[in-house]
Structure 1
Amino acid sequence: MKREPKEPVMTDTSSGDGDDTPDGTSPSDDGFEYPRDPSDIRDPDARGSDDVNGPRDPTDPRDPTDPRDPDDHGSIDGDSDETPLVAIATAVGLGVLGPLIAFVGGVGVFVVDMVFDLGLVASLLLTLFVGQYVAFAGLAVGYLAWRGFDRSGIVSYLGVRRPSLTDLGVVVVGWVVIITSVIGISVVIQLIGVDTAANQSAELALENPAIVPIFIAASFLVIGPCEEILYRGVVQGRLRESLPAAPSIVIASAVFAAIHVMALTGGISGRLTTVAVLFFPSLVFGAVYEYTENIVVPSLLHGLHNAVIFTLLYVTVTYGDELDELAAAGTMLFPL
């Protein structure tokens, strides 16, 4: 999936005055006459010009057929002098900027709620819109647009396409891997007695079961797609322009897990433990994206994972207090 710079397009610069012979052939320095390429759209009267844009430097690695601005800000073809540190710094910066925008937007929603008394459902929907569509997906698309990608270029960069049956199978297998590994890790954590933190959204759902269906729908329509577009599509994708797959997945997953510190409650040790647990689902999301090269697949996997956990929470709070302990353990399982 790594974006490799395109090979330079070599052009024939051996022509003299650019004239063709009467029989439709082109003169050359070696005395032979070669048939003119009928697909050549150059102006036959353009004296000494290699193409409509003038002579091209054969050492320039940029592809003149690429619709993107060749002087864009860190184009997909990349600069030959760019170091991996630049890609890492850019990716980490984007990964941190998203939650900061979401935090500022959340403060704005809180103020609006205080003034207009929006109510729980309206406040939740507005928070999801600002914190996900604007802060995460908006940042990702805005960054790619800033680099010079048009709509089709953004779609191609992210890998947005309808998933195949194989892709859907990858979603199922990926979810089994995630739930198995996280449950195993959670059991070990409980056995050694390490504190964990709870997710704020999960706690809100436990206190207000009526909004759980909203969270389930949002898992597929909002949370999964928006977070994957930023952290897999752009953060991991930017890393893949300069790094191999494994370090790109690890770095992107570490950033994704770390930013959830802001969404957790409890002491610092509990938060760090929970972030470590969330790192494993993140690795699966990244591996699935690398394997399928389709952002829809990790988005579905992310949404499925969250939706299942929210469903378990809903069943827990609806069908008995005896499952409270299970619900409390479940709040640490999903990355929101």
Structure 2
Amino acid sequence: MATSLQTDTTTRLPDRFAGTPLASRLRALGAAAALLVLGTLAAPLVSGGVGLLADALGHGDDLVRTYAVSGTLATLSLAAIALAYRRVRPLPMPVRVPDGREWPWVVVGILAPLLGAVVLQLGAAALGVGAGETATSGIGRFAATNPVLFYSLAILSALFVVAPAEELLYRGVVQGRLREEFGPAVAIGLTSLGFGAGHVFSYVVGGSDPLSGAVAIALATIVLGGVVLGVLYERTGNLGVTIVAHGLSNALVLTVSLAAVL
């Protein structure tokens, strides 16, 4: 079976799910857990390595450049993990430019997570969760030094690096592997939880308390976004839809953040 990404418009995800033996399910869970752990550890491991190299080269004080380089490499490592696994365990992963019928789903993928975030924030405020706390990510922390440059680079990264890499790993490989054994609902749920866990380190770098209510709300928003993207992948059978929706949604949030500090 070919291991390259499928771009044929006739390539679709399996239409139905059939129950599988316990051993197969355990293997799928083990593979998904290993992929999610690797994805979660990629950022701290790569950041630590880049930081040590920067110190050795005498650039340890340039935290912004170090964060930008480490963040890019850590994100690319997610794609590397996904493609390496797919060589060992080929999975259907249709990727194509969204067609006219799929663009409404792209719009859903942009707006639904934003609406969900508003609802979560309002609910948390009503319950007093995270009151007086802030959830600052690494981007928010380092962008303060040069907002225009940093946010501009972050927007480009969101569109062309972050979205493709994260979608390859989380929706393409992890959700795809779990789907084979558990069906789409369980696959979307477990993958979305792992997707949220993979973003914890960003808030640690930003100086936020990872156990705070504010960070919990931020991570819940990310998990919700993962659910939306997972549903889009199942509905369209096209990873290109989730990549475009993910990238544009992140770029919109970053653009608003830039406008807020100008």
**TM-score relative to the length of structure 2:** 0.82
1:140 counterpart residue number? 82
SS at 1:179's partner residue? helix
Check 1:124–1:296 CA distance in 2 against 1; reply closer, same or farther (3 A cut): farther
What is residue 138 of structure 2 aligned with on the other side?
Answer: 200
Measured after TM superposition, the shift of residue 250 of structure 1 is: 0.7
Structure number with larger C-alpha Rg: 1
2:199 alignment partner, SS class: helix
Q: CA shift at 1:145, angstroms?
A: 1.1
Shift of 1:192: 2.1
Q: Which residue of 2 aligns with 1:212?
A: 151
Structure 2 residue runs of 5 or longer lacking an equivalent are: 1-12
Q: Which has the higher contact order (CA 8 A, sep 6+)?
A: 2
> Higher mean Cα deviation, 304-313 or 197-206?
197-206
Q: Indicate whether 1:269 and 2:212 are aligned.
A: yes
Aligned-pair CA distance for 1:101: 2.6
1:13-28 superposed matches below 5 A? none
TM-score (norm 1): 0.65
Do the aligned residues in 1 keep the contact of 2:50 with 2:66 (CA within 8 Å)? yes
Instruction: Tell me the secondary structure at the aligned position of residue 89 of structure 1.
Output: helix
CA contact (8 A) 1:3 1:241 kept: no
Residue 163 in 1 paired to residue 98 in 2?
Answer: yes
What SS class does the counterpart of residue 165 from structure 1 fall into?
coil
**Could you list the runs of 4 or more consecutive aligned residues of structure 1 that deviate by over 6 angstroms after TM superposition?**
none
Cα deviation code 1:130-183 (max 9, x no counterpart): 20112x000000011123x4xxxx7xx221222212222211122121111111
* Residues 65-84 of structure 1, C-alpha deviations (whole Å, 9 max, x = no match): xxxxxxxxxxxxxx967432
- Tell me what 2:37 maps to: 96
Instruction: Give structure 1 stretches of 5+ with no counterpart.
Output: 6-78, 319-336
* Number of aligned residues: 239
Identity %: 30
Deviation at 1:219, TM superposition (A): 0.5
Find the aligned partners of 1:293 and 1:268 in 2 and give their Cα distance: 36
Deviations 1:200-258 (A, max 9, x none): 22222234302110000100100111011101000000001111111111111111112
Q: Among 44, 48, 52, which residue is 1:107 paired with?
A: 48
CA contact (8 A) 1:3 1:240 kept: no
Q: Which residue of 1 aligns with 2:5?
A: none
Q: Hey, what's the Cα distance between the residues in 2 that align with 1:211 and 1:120?
A: 12
Matched residue type, 2:253: I
Task: Name the structure 1 match of 2:111.
Answer: 176
Q: Rate the CA distance shift 1:186–1:81 in 2: closer, same or farther, 3 A.
A: closer
Which secondary structure state, in structure 2, belongs to the residue aligned with residue 263 of structure 1?
Answer: helix
More helix by share: 2
**Do 2:43 and 2:71's aligned partners in 1 also have CA atoms closer than 8 Å?**
no
Maintained 8 Å contact 2:40/2:198: yes
